[in-house]
Amino acid sequence: MTSIAERPGVTTYQQFIDGQWVDALSGATFTRTSPYDGSVVGVYPNSGIEDADRAIRAARRAFDETSWPTSPAADRARILRRAADLLAERADAFATCIAAEVGKPKTMALGEVMATVDVFQLFAAKALNLKGESFTQQIPDAIGIVAHEPVGVVGIITPWNFPLLLISWKIGPAIAAGCTMVAKPSHYTPGSTLMLAGLLAEAGLPDGVFNVVTSETDNGALVGQHIAASELVDKVAFTGSTASGKAVMRAAANNVKKVSLELGGKSPNIVFPDAALDAAVAGAFFGIYLNSGQVCQAGSRLLVAKPIKDEFVAKLTALSQTLKLGDPFDPATTMGPVINENQLAKIENYLQRGKQEAKLLTGGSRATDPGLEKGLFVKPTIFDEVPAQASIAREEIFGPVLSVLSFENIDDVIRTANDTMYGLAAAVWTKDINVALKVAKGLRAGTVWVNAYHTTGLYNMPYGGYKQSGLGRELGDLGLEEYMETKSIQIKLQ
């Protein structure tokens, strides 16, 4: 286990284009500072439109002029398996980078790395199972073949909260399908993506198949929009806020490219009176505080049946107060800082609104205890008696802030849970299978857990959202289909 004394130094990176490590054409760079103590953790190229064009052209050439798109599936699977093995071997280095840039505890960063290993192994297997369909019995003198082919060049734009895992959800199926890629990670957390570029090259990925450009703030928005709008890009895969996803869609309309979007959420976590109380409390705790609440599918709306609400909330409040905020490289830390000053200010604004809209039970402010004063920490916060129309019950806060509402019956809770523009995830806690299934079927959300939150261990099921939580699905067979085009071949027999 890494100790506090073993904090990493400053790493200087280059962008990765056409198999080469290169600086930005302008020579400009930017830095990332730790959200824990403000120290510089990385220096990166501040790429511009010209750099993005270089990367796009490299990906276009690799798709149009090399054998990569038609390479044997066994070769693509071998690369993904080798990447998984290398990543497992270097898990500590990747986790160190993630912990430094994101601020999440290194133990949790290690979990993210190993989950990424699983993703590459999953899509290595799926690469070997790619197949089409045939139509042979409709008429005697014709045969039909349905073929699935790689979509082409994929623009990948990823966020900062799970910088390695979320890009693997896109890279894995893209490699399995035979696509080429241009990636622009968040400027807050580009390090692990750049490290991954080198690892994929070592695993045997040909030059130009995976390219990475990095850019800061205003440049980053311009570069991301340029990738999304480029006529040389056939698909864009984006994870981020709903507002940014809409901007990506508008840019992608330039050449009617395929779009997949994983966007925001305000997910309901529903607890019925017969639920296993302690398990549900632990699930609510994990659902809102994982990664300091900076999770798209965070269970930020807790809907508890009235008969058990007071007992449930008392247990959850007590458990919340056991979280240890601190240095992500201290093994005792269980919750890190939020990502940046802007996010901290946004959360503080919601905390002030919450104090006017509801009853504050715990937290409610920035944490500035000794050892935390340089960091961007928010105290774990619970608001009770939250009106369904309150801003803290309807808007995505993306921080460790929980809104508690109560309900009386199934119809009441389904109606309240669905009263949102989002539809990413939800959970229901009950021992009654009929109640569980009625609620699960009634909820308009892409993922519904029963007696769990965030995970049941079934990591390969499709992931995505209803309504303004996104378009398309990631993981599973549906996630692979997002990176394929479908061709009907009709053969008239002579």
The CA distance from 130 to 177, in Å, is 8
The reported pLDDT for the residue numbered 487 is 97
The letter for the amino acid at 373 is E
State the maximum Cα–Cα separation within the chain, in Å, rounded to a whole number: 84
pLDDT band, very low/low/confident/very high, at 220 (cuts 50, 70, 90):
low
The CA distance from 299 to 285, in Å, is 9
Mean pLDDT value across residues 256-264: 97
Listed in sequence order, the residues at least 6 apart from 35 whose beta carbon sits closer than 8 Å to its beta carbon are 102, 103, 336, 337, 338, 339, 340, 375, 376
The letter for the amino acid at 265 is G
Listed in sequence order, the residues at least 6 apart from 434 whose beta carbon sits closer than 8 Å to its beta carbon are none
Residue 4 clears pLDDT 60, i.e. is over it: no
Supply the pTM of this predicted model.
Answer: 0.96
Strand ranges for 195-351 from DSSP E? 210-212, 235-239, 258-262, 268-271, 301-305
| Higher pLDDT, residue 459 or 471 | 471
pLDDT band, very low/low/confident/very high, at 459 (cuts 50, 70, 90):
confident
Residue 1 clears pLDDT 70, i.e. is over it: no
Q: Residue 298: what are its φ and ψ, rounded to 5°?
A: -55, 140
- Closest among 259, 195, 200 to 227, alpha carbons compared: 259
- Please tell me what DSSP assigns to residue 443: -
The reported pLDDT for the residue numbered 217 is 75
Q: Which of 112, 179, 216, 296 is catalytic?
A: 296
Give whole-number Cα distances, 125 to 176, 469, 485, in Å: 9, 29, 20
The CA distance from 494 to 490, in Å, is 13
Mean pLDDT value across residues 369-397: 97
- Please tell me what DSSP assigns to residue 160: S
CB 13 within 8 A of CB 216: no
The CA distance from 288 to 295, in Å, is 8
Residue 3 clears pLDDT 90, i.e. is over it: no
The CA distance from 165 to 486, in Å, is 27
- The position carrying tokens 């064009």 is 53
pLDDT digits (tens, 9 = 90+) for 308-357: 999 999 999 999 999 999 999 999 999 999 999 999 999 999 999 999 99
User: In this structure, what token pair is assigned to residue 436?
Assistant: 């569980």
Mean pLDDT value across residues 188-216: 98
Strand ranges for 162-244 from DSSP E? 180-184, 210-212, 235-239
CB 255 within 8 A of CB 231: yes
Is 262 part of the annotated catalytic residue set? yes
SS3 161: coil
Mean pLDDT value across residues 371-386: 97
Residue 251 clears pLDDT 50, i.e. is over it: yes
User: In this structure, what token pair is assigned to residue 450?
Assistant: 């029963």
SS3 17: strand
Mean pLDDT value across residues 235-260: 96
Is 296 part of the annotated catalytic residue set? yes
Angle subtended at Cα 26 by Cα 25 and Cα 29, rounded to the nearest 5 degrees: 105
User: In this structure, what token pair is assigned to residue 266?
Assistant: 């305000």
Residue 5 clears pLDDT 60, i.e. is over it: no
Task: Give 314-320 contacts, CB < 8 A, sequence gap 24+.
Answer: 315/277, 315/278, 315/281, 316/281, 316/284, 316/285, 316/382, 316/402, 317/361, 317/362, 317/382, 319/281, 319/282, 319/285, 320/285, 320/289, 320/362, 320/363, 320/380, 320/382
pLDDT digits (tens, 9 = 90+) for 52-90: 999 999 999 999 999 999 999 999 999 999 999 999 999
Mean pLDDT value across residues 432-447: 98
pLDDT digits (tens, 9 = 90+) for 273-314: 999 999 999 999 999 999 999 999 999 999 999 999 999 999
Mean pLDDT value across residues 169-193: 98
pLDDT band, very low/low/confident/very high, at 7 (cuts 50, 70, 90):
low
Q: Which of 262, 357, 396, 482 is catalytic?
A: 262
Mean pLDDT of the chain: 96
pLDDT band, very low/low/confident/very high, at 376 (cuts 50, 70, 90):
very high
The CA distance from 26 to 419, in Å, is 48
* Per-residue exposure over 36-57, b if at least 16 CB sit within 10 Å of its own CB, e if not: bbeeebbebbbbbbebbbbbbb
* Domains of the chain and CATH, by start: 4-263+472-489 (3.40.605.10), 268-460 (3.40.309.10)
The CA distance from 338 to 477, in Å, is 34
Mean pLDDT value across residues 143-154: 98
